[in-house]
Amino acid sequence: GAGVSQTPSNKVTEKGKYVELRCDPISGHTALYWYRQSLGQGPEFLIYFQGTGAADDSGLPNDRFFAVRPEGSVSTLKIQRTERGDSAMYLCASSGYLGTEAFFGQGTRLTVV
C-alpha cells in the first residue's frame, strides 16, 4: 500500500481479554515503531524494530505487552490481560534506514471496558 496501515481502527475489549493490533508498514521500510498516545499527550515510545529484531523494547510498560515482526514487514502488538489503563491510541510508524522521515499509520483506538 501507499502508506502505513493499521488494523483494526477501533477495538473495544473487556478487561482481562487478549488483543492484537496489526501494523503494515510502507514497503521497503526497515524501521518500525510502536507508540501509545493518550488524549492530549505526545506519542509515548513502546518498541522499535530494525528488520525482524526488536532493537529497543525499553518502552513496553510491562510483560503483558509484546510485539513481533517475524518477516521484517508486518508487525503485531499483543496485549495480554488488558486493563482499563491500556486504553489509548496505538500508533505505528515506519521509516527507511536511519534518519529519514517516519510515516505514521492512522492508529488503533483501544478501549478496555
Q: Cβ distance 112 to 82 under 8 Å?
A: yes
* Residues contacting another protein: total by CB under 8 A: 25
Half-sphere exposure of 44 (CA within 13 A, CB side): 14
Which of 13, 20, 76, 102 binds another protein (CB under 8 A)? It is 102
Determine, following the binding rule CB under 8 A, whether residue 43 of this chain makes contact with another protein: yes
Determine, following the binding rule CB under 8 A, whether residue 45 of this chain makes contact with another protein: yes
- What is the contact mask toward another protein in residues 10 to 39, using x (rule: CB under 8 A)? ---------------------x-x-x----
Interface with another protein in residues 54-93 (CB under 8 A): 55-56, 91, 93
Determine, following the binding rule CB under 8 A, whether residue 48 of this chain makes contact with another protein: yes
CB of 77 to another protein, least distance (A): 16
Q: Is the peptide bond before 8 cis (omega within 30 degrees of 0)?
A: yes
Determine, following the binding rule CB under 8 A, whether residue 99 of this chain makes contact with another protein: yes
Measure the CA–CA gap between 101 and 111, rounded to whole angstroms. Answer: 29
C-alpha cell at 75: 508487525
How many other CB atoms are there within 10 angstroms of residue 47's CB atom?
22
